[in-house]
């Protein structure tokens, strides 16, 4: 009598186990079909992109390389902005919507500094001097503003539900745009550059001097920033805070100061980008920050958000894609430029939210 | 299996005062009284008033502003379902507004002049184009938007909240841009590009044509649409789906552990939100008598968000108050106030340009000091201030 229920329960256990295994097999097969679909869709998209590039190279190689040069020139600017997004996201997991607008404000400041306060609008040795003076000034200016934003808008919300700081960031972005309208007017303004306007030609490809100058300014800044983040004490504190803010605080790191420093770093880079954009394109507008900010954010996501070299890689790639789309004979053309970038953003989010160089995300409970 | 559902129902009934006062259908009486009073005032009384008072209303609260505010209310109620109920930050709501608007443009105008389809419309039968009845277009627009809501929502479901915001923002940028550049998509004129589609047909109501200036009747129609959205919001909120949304908003992981189907609930939130966006879009197209691609900008999404945040996320009445006040400030209040100040002080300040400051300021200050909004929903208030009580705060504010 006694053995019967026991054996019954064992049978049941076995049955349950069997069922469980079957279910697991089912779910895993479902996952693998999903993976298969994703993989194949991704490879089809990448294949189409390469096909498009190949057709264009064959059709007109000089135009292809010309578009690439323009694209990479833009990409360098995006890299400076994207780093600010990635730094801030890495440390407090906030998408700082206001970052692009900070870049815009940097551009307006640079224009005012060079053209209004110092009255420089032609390439000359004084002009170059003012340019470098302005580089330092605009970096300090944007760093200060970014630290102030962090202090007054974001610090209080660090432990609040995620929605709160995000909405605040959107609000800050609107306020900076308002400052932009007050300062720069509600339409675009054009400025004369102190940088030389010429270009040199390598086998049919025109390379403007301004692109070279963008590189000359950007690369040392990137090296400096990498040095700060990887080699200095402050950088170590930053990385520790990014990993675990509470643990970092227990280890004696001043978390507030470290986060403020991160914002300062990001702001300084955005300021430099603003100056470079204003001088190379010669235009400022209050809504530029919003557009370029989104492109830069896409770059940061493409590279893997939180990853510094990823942001630079992503920015160059996005710049390249945009340049090619705008400049190639067979392309969608400039009017679809933004759409292309946002489509990349959405595809990335769907297929690979971790980006190219990002680590896979683990959901924290 | 029935026990938990009974428990839920009990918990739902013992909510705080706000929910109680407006419990279920009690609100309909007050809503109707206010609606009819405003309608009687604008349809009959305003014309009888002495000139000074009539011109005061003409300046500070014209009937067209009332109607436009109602369109904002409809859309804000939709966004409230996505953001306030389900806790999914949607920064691209303008996409649904645009799609709804273009549904009106396609099905209620001469735009597709190649064909000649008439169905219940007031337009003369020989007029080319697709002319459907306003009510049919309303339905079509809402359904198309709901479908797009699912399409937009589906890829974002696996994402964390901030990534989700970005993807919706991306869609909110792409869709208006498609319309803006849609003059020639592979030789096909989708949207008439930057010129827009204008005019759209008049609304037919009991055999009466409502032209652009029949604001009183349009007001009644818009109020009914808003009431429909209120009804939908409240009914769903107290049902199974609404409870699932609130659970997801409060703790996604715990909700999924309790058996809430995350995918289906989130998609439903997007679909219902988009549904009202579509209704708002069609209504707005008839209000301005056309659809124009350059109107659908990012700032519309943000203004809608500000409405939801100001009024109180998750509380229908708060959202309505927020939407009415912000829409009024945006369309009439700020320009009229600027005009008054400028003429009184002899200054020349462009007050409408301050709206960036205003909306940015509203978002920041509400988030910093009154995160739950002006008319908070009791549950949301608790969540929003949960962190303030916790002892382990990084910043030490």
Q: Please report the ipTM that was assigned to this predicted complex.
A: 0.77
Residue B32 scores a pLDDT above 80:
yes
**Binary contact (A345, B166; C-beta < 8 A):** yes
Mean pLDDT for the stretch of residues A268-282: 91
Q: Is B156 on the interface with A (CB under 8 A)?
A: yes
Task: Please identify among residues 258-277 of chain B the ones whose CB lies closer than 8 Å to any CB of chain A.
Answer: none
CA–CA–CA angle A15, A18, A19 (5° rounding)? 85
What percentage of chain B carries pLDDT values higher than 90?
Answer: 16
The token duo for B283 is 């209504």
Query: Alpha-carbon distance A337 to A325, whole Å?
Result: 7
- What is the three-class DSSP state of A305? coil
| Three-state secondary structure of chain B | CHHHHHHHHHHHHCCCHHHHHCCCCCHHHHHHHHHHHHHHHHHHHHHHCCHHHHHHHHHHCCHHHHHHHHHHHHHHHHHHHHHHHCCCCCCCCHHHHHHHHHHHHHHEECCCCCCEEEECCCCCCCCCEEEECHHHHHHHHHHHHHHHHHHHHHHHCCCCHHHHHHHHHHHHHHHHHHHHCCCCECCECCCCHHHCECCCCCEEECCEEECCCCHHHHHHHHHHHHHHHHHHHHHHHHCHHHHHHHHHHHCHHHHHHCCCCHHHHHHHHHHHHHHHHHHHHHHHHHHHCCECHHHCCHHHHHHHHHHHHHHCCCCHHHHHHHHHHHHHHHHHHHHHHHHHHHHHHCCCCCHHHHHHHHHHHHHHHHHHHCCCCCCCCHHHHHHHCHHHHCCCCCCCC
Query: Alpha-carbon distance A297 to A171, whole Å?
Result: 18
C-alpha distance from A180 to closest chain B C-alpha (Å) = 10
Residue A267 scores a pLDDT above 90:
yes
pLDDT band per the 50, 70, 90 thresholds, residue B207: low
Comparison of pLDDT for A135 and A334, the residue scoring more: A135
pLDDT band per the 50, 70, 90 thresholds, residue B141: very high
Query: Alpha-carbon distance A253 to A3, whole Å?
Result: 65
- Could you tell me the CA-to-CA distances from A322 to A337, B38, B93, B108 in Å, in that order? 6, 53, 26, 37
pLDDT tens digits, one per residue of B113-132:
777 777 777 777 777 778 88
Mean pLDDT for the stretch of residues A194-208: 80
Comparison of pLDDT for A119 and B351, the residue scoring more: A119
Mean pLDDT for the stretch of residues A84-105: 89
Query: Alpha-carbon distance A293 to A172, whole Å?
Result: 14
Burial (CB count within 10 angstroms: exposed 0-12, middle 13-18, buried 19+), residue A113: buried
- CA B274, B279, B282, B286 torsion: positive or negative? negative
B173 touches A342 (CB < 8 A): yes
| DSSP secondary structure code for residue A208 in this structure | E
Q: Which residue has the tokens 């339409």?
A: A187
Instruction: Find the CB nearest B360 among A159, A166, A174.
Output: A174
Q: Which of B367, B373, B384 to mutate to test binding with chain A, by most A CBs within 10 Å of its CB?
A: B367
Q: Taking all residues of chain B, what is their mean pLDDT, rounded to a whole number?
A: 80
C-alpha distance from A105 to closest chain B C-alpha (Å) = 15
Query: Alpha-carbon distance B95 to B354, whole Å?
Result: 25
- B17-385 — its CATH code? 1.10.3470
What is the CB-side half-sphere exposure of residue A121 using CA atoms within 13 A?
10
Name B96's Cβ contacts closer than 8 Å, sequence gap at least 6: B75, B78, B145, B148, B149, B273, B274, B277, B278, B280, B281
- What is the three-class DSSP state of A176? helix
Mean pLDDT for the stretch of residues B206-222: 76
Name A58's Cβ contacts closer than 8 Å, sequence gap at least 6: none
B76 touches B304 (CB < 8 A): yes
The nearest alpha carbon in chain B to A346 belongs to B167
The pLDDT of residue B393 = 39
Residue B143 scores a pLDDT above 90:
yes
A196 touches A121 (CB < 8 A): no
Q: Which of A174, A256, A348, A360 to mutate to test binding with chain B, by most B CBs within 10 Å of its CB?
A: A174
pLDDT tens digits, one per residue of B227-268:
999 999 988 988 889 999 999 888 888 888 888 888 889 999
Task: Please identify among residues 195-224 of chain B the ones whose CB lies closer than 8 Å to any CB of chain A.
Answer: none
Query: Alpha-carbon distance A262 to B151, whole Å?
Result: 37
Give yes or no for a cis peptide into B199 (omega within 30° of 0).
yes
Mean pLDDT for the stretch of residues B92-100: 91
The pLDDT of residue A6 = 44
**Binary contact (A256, B356; C-beta < 8 A):** no
C-alpha distance from B361 to closest chain A C-alpha (Å) = 6
**Binary contact (A363, B253; C-beta < 8 A):** yes
Highest mean pLDDT pick, A14-28, A190-204, A279-293, B43-57: A279-293
The token duo for A321 is 């894609």
B377 touches B315 (CB < 8 A): yes
Name A148's Cβ contacts closer than 8 Å, sequence gap at least 6: none
The number of angstroms, rounded, from the C-alpha of A128 to the middle of its chain's C-alpha atoms is 29
CA R_g for chain A: 25
Residue B219 scores a pLDDT above 90:
no
- What is the three-class DSSP state of A360? coil
Mean pLDDT for the stretch of residues A12-37: 60
Give the least confident one: B29-38, B283-292, B370-379: B370-379
Query: Alpha-carbon distance A238 to A219, whole Å?
Result: 22
Query: Alpha-carbon distance B317 to B310, whole Å?
Result: 11
Name B35's Cβ contacts closer than 8 Å, sequence gap at least 6: B220, B223, B227
Instruction: Find the CB nearest B353 among A181, A361, A365.
Output: A181
Burial (CB count within 10 angstroms: exposed 0-12, middle 13-18, buried 19+), residue A63: middle
**Binary contact (A162, B360; C-beta < 8 A):** no
**Binary contact (B173, A294; C-beta < 8 A):** yes
Q: Is B281 on the interface with A (CB under 8 A)?
A: no
C-alpha distance from A31 to closest chain B C-alpha (Å) = 14
Residue A350 scores a pLDDT above 60:
yes
The token duo for B23 is 């419990």
The token duo for A326 is 């705008």
Query: Alpha-carbon distance B6 to A191, whole Å?
Result: 69
Residue A17 scores a pLDDT above 60:
no
**Binary contact (B387, A159; C-beta < 8 A):** yes
The pLDDT of residue A16 = 53
Instruction: Find the CB nearest B371 among A164, A174, A365.
Output: A164
The nearest alpha carbon in chain A to B362 belongs to A171
First to last CA, chain B: 46
Pairing of β A283-284 and β A199-202: unpaired
Which residues partner with A319 through β-bridges? none
Sequence length of chain A is 365
Mean pLDDT for the stretch of residues A128-156: 92
Q: Which of A160, A348, A364 to mutate to test binding with chain B, by most B CBs within 10 Å of its CB?
A: A160
What percentage of chain A carries pLDDT values higher than 90?
Answer: 24
Query: Alpha-carbon distance B63 to B74, whole Å?
Result: 17
The token duo for A72 is 């990479």
Query: Alpha-carbon distance A24 to A34, whole Å?
Result: 15
- What is the pTM (predicted TM-score) of this model? 0.81
pLDDT band per the 50, 70, 90 thresholds, residue A250: very high
**Binary contact (A346, B170; C-beta < 8 A):** yes
Give the least confident one: A236-250, B323-337, B348-362: B348-362
Q: In chain B, which residues have their Cβ closer than 8 Å to the Cβ of A158?
A: 393-395
The pLDDT of residue B5 = 43
Query: Alpha-carbon distance B234 to B245, whole Å?
Result: 13
Cβ count near B394 (within 10 Å): 17
């Amino acid at each position: 009598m006694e053995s019967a229920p026991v054996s019954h329960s064992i049978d049941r256990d076995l049955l349950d186990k069997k069922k469980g295994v079957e279910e697991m097999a089912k779910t895993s097969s479902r996952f693998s079909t999903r993976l298969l679909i994703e993989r194949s869709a991704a490879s089809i998209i990448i294949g189409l992109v390469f096909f498009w590039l190949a057709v264009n190279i064959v059709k007109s190689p000089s135009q292809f390389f010309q578009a690439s040069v323009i694209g990479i020139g833009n990409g360098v600017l995006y890299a400076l902005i994207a780093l600010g997004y990635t730094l801030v996201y890495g440390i407090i997991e906030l998408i700082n919507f206001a970052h692009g607008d900070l870049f815009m404000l940097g551009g307006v400041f640079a224009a005012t500094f060079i053209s209004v306060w110092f009255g420089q609008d032609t390439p000359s040795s004084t002009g170059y001097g003012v340019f470098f003076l302005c580089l330092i000034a605009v970096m300090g200016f944007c760093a200060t503003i970014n630290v102030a934003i962090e202090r007054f808008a974001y610090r209080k919300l660090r432990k609040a539900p995620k929605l709160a700081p995000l909405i605040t960031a959107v609000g800050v972005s609107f306020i900076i745009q308002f400052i932009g309208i007050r300062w720069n007017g509600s339409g675009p303004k054009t400025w004369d550059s102190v940088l030389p306007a010429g270009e040199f030609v390598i086998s049919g490809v025109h390379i403007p001097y301004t692109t070279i100058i963008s590189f000359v300014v950007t690369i040392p800044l990137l090296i400096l920033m990498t040095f700060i983040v990887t080699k200095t004490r402050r950088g170590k504190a930053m990385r520790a805070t990014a990993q675990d803010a509470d643990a970092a605080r227990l280890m004696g790191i001043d978390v507030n100061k470290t986060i403020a420093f991160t914002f300062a770093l990001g702001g300084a880079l955005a300021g430099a980008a603003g100056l470079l954009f204003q001088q190379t394109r010669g235009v400022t507008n209050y809504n530029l920050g919003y557009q370029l900010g989104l492109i830069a954010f896409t770059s940061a996501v493409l590279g893997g958000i939180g990853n510094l070299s990823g942001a630079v890689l992503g920015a160059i790639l996005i710049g390249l894609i945009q340049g090619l789309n705008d400049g190639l004979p067979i392309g969608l053309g400039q009017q679809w430029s933004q759409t292309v970038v946002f489509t990349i953003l959405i595809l990335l989010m769907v297929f690979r939210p971790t980006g190219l160089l990002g680590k896979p995300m683990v959901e924290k409970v | 299996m029935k026990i938990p559902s009974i428990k839920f129902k009990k918990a739902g009934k013992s909510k705080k005062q706000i929910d109680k006062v407006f419990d279920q259908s009690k609100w309909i009486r007050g809503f109707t009284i206010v609606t009819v009073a405003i309608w009687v005032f604008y349809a009959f009384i305003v014309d009888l008033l002495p000139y000074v008072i009539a011109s005061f209303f003409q300046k500070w609260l014209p009937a067209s502003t009332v109607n436009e505010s109602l369109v904002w209310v409809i859309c804000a109620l939709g966004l409230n379902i996505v953001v306030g109920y389900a806790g999914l930050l949607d920064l691209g709501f303008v996409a649904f507004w645009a799609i709804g608007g273009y549904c009106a443009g396609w099905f209620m105008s001469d735009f597709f002049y190649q064909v000649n389809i008439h169905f219940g419309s007031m337009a003369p039968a020989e007029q080319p184009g697709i002319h459907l009845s306003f009510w049919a277009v309303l339905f079509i627009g809402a359904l198309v938007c709901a479908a797009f809501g699912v399409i937009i929502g589906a890829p974002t479901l696996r994402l964390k909240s901030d990534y989700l915001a970005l993807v919706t923002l991306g869609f909110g940028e792409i869709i208006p841009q498609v319309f803006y550049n849609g003059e020639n998509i592979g030789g096909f004129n989708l949207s008439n590009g930057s010129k827009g589609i204008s005019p759209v047909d008049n609304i037919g109501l009991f055999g009466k044509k409502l032209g652009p200036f029949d604001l009183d009747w349009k007001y009644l129609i818009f109020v009914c649409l808003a009431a429909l959205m209120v009804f939908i919001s409240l009914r769903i909120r107290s049902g199974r789906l609404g409870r699932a949304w609130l659970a997801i908003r409060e703790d996604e992981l715990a909700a999924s552990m309790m058996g809430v189907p995350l995918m289906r609930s989130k998609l439903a939130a997007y679909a219902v939100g988009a549904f009202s966006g579509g209704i708002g879009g069609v209504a707005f197209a008839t209000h301005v008598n056309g659809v124009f691609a350059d109107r659908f900008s990012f700032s519309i999404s943000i203004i809608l968000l500000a409405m939801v945040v100001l009024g109180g996320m998750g509380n229908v009445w708060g959202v309505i108050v927020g939407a009415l006040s912000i829409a009024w400030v945006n369309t009439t209040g700020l320009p009229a106030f600027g005009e008054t100040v400028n003429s009184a002080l002899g200054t020349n300040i462009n007050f409408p340009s301050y709206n960036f400051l205003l909306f940015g300021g509203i978002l920041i200050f509400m988030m910093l000091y009154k995160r739950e909004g002006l008319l908070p929903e009791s549950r949301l208030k608790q969540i929003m201030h949960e962190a303030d009580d916790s002892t382990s705060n990084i910043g030490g504010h």
